A and B are shown apart, each in its own frame.
Chain A
């Protein structure tokens, strides 16, 4: 569905991503892990068409996205660090606004449906500024699935959610996958994300260092894999540093 191929990204003098290939397929949840500064959020932003890669391409159904961004954006649902909500508007108005931007038919019913789903129907007339972080996050999730996207891109979507909220989000993601959607999930919570995902990818210093299937994976065995993957990367990092010293 959505795919990035050979994507690199230079920010000033830092190579944030170096040649990443990542296909997202329908009916799959792909979990993206890595230490801070590995380039996870940048990769997600590139797939969200918010940032252009320095090299490489983003593909939609096998064709480059360039030139038909707005058609592709129609199919993407995004949850990022920021909520993208207006504090001065009510929950209902925020959804209504986004719905109009996406040109959703029969918007009033859809907004009501989503408000029920995220459990904020009772607060629909309250301005978002009065919401707790958890309520805002629920609304953000509602905003992301409002236009029935085919791809969900989630960057630390559990932020601020209580246990109930986390369970709710897990249900949303499972339903989305079962309906044939593709989901990319960035999370710090390894065990939970592994339990949910079908596929994992470990990113370190802008490269994919390990990827594989999440089936039959326990939290413990994945923890070993994660440590090992970063260990190997460390050694190659050192080798690179030593080589640089030789040049100097």
Chain B
């Protein structure tokens, strides 16, 4: 039996807040599922997207959070991963003919390594703000190349017909068709149908879960290793690291390549999820979304990066629902009101408000929301919501520490397994 009270007692205020938010979000999503407002397949799609952003955030976190590298070319690595996978596996790829997705994965990671060296070698010696501008510029160069070299990438048409990742695997390829279609009468009245698309999406979620869990474990382990300690030293004081005899450029380059590989994994997943890859994948907006996720979660904190990835999906997909929902409520309110005198005028106002909201551009609303989120975050909590606390130290180091001050240092007694 888990000691719930003890676990709660051991949390910081921020951790409690995040737990409450996550629980509320899960309850809302489950309510949506059970009331039939949220299709199960779409729900899984959202979970997949959240996993993808979590991967991207993990990758950026290992560059910025641990190494202090301002990489504004996240979209380029995401895109190169997606294009690598798509060009090798897709049916209408201009350069190959439907190889197995496993080869696609390998090619994507290889391309990402080459690109990371191509961007990292010249720029990683630069001052922080120059690195930001230079990497954004080089990411744009990559985008132009993919857009214009039609004989390699199909240009603006994009690459269609990417198979599912598990399509040539022994058991999993037939899994969606083999599973029985289910009709479930959920408690809140709706009937939910689970067919082949649902199981196909389930496989996608499985894929991203494997990618994310693998990356998370690997990165957590790596960051607690001597290598990770050197990297954190470089972040806080590069001159000190150099004085200790470390080749800081090499460490930075290694961190850059490592993070870029994780971002390319997210791209591979995206190509197989959408079964289509276009130049829009390399839109610099993706880069900034991932930055918001990492800063929101707390730079240098892997679980923060996971949390940030989930929040970004909520921000990306939320406004569309929120606006539709608001319009629905306003319409039912105006339907309930009569059409005489004051009530009539109120109804007119509500209807026109609903029209305005309906006509509103969800993408634009999203931009404003993300912008406000960034400004508010930098103003109120620049260290992020879940800044690193216990995750950077071995748990044994904490356990063996003498039981000292009874008050104050609650973190010192933590079991540190997160």
* Chains A and B come from one and the same complex: no
**Which B residues have a C-beta under 8 Å from some C-beta of A?**
none
**Which A residues have a C-beta under 8 Å from some C-beta of B?**
none
